[in-house]
Structure 1
């Protein structure tokens, strides 16, 4: 926080999180595979993809 010319200036802190931290803080329900996800994973290639 900075006071300048009768103004309050706030600067956000940038906190860099690692992938491990983000995953640890994510709700476990968000990792559950939906039926749509399972279909996509077991679907055959449509074009020249691997």
Structure 2
């Protein structure tokens, strides 16, 4: 089970890194009490990991 979770984490990390490199469009990030500049979708996914 541990190896499956590690493999899944590596796959998701690689996917989000590929999104950062291939998709330069930026998305607005709306948080309740914070001003956050627009970021790329893959970078946002990497930060949430």
TM range (shorter): under 0.3
Q: Which of 1 and 2 has higher RCO (CA within 8 Å, sep 6+)?
A: 2
TM-score, scaled relative to structure 1: 0.24
When you count helix as a share of all residues, which structure comes out higher?
A: 2
Normalised by the size of structure 2, how large is the TM-score?
0.24
Q: Which of structures 1 and 2 has the bigger CA Rg?
A: 1
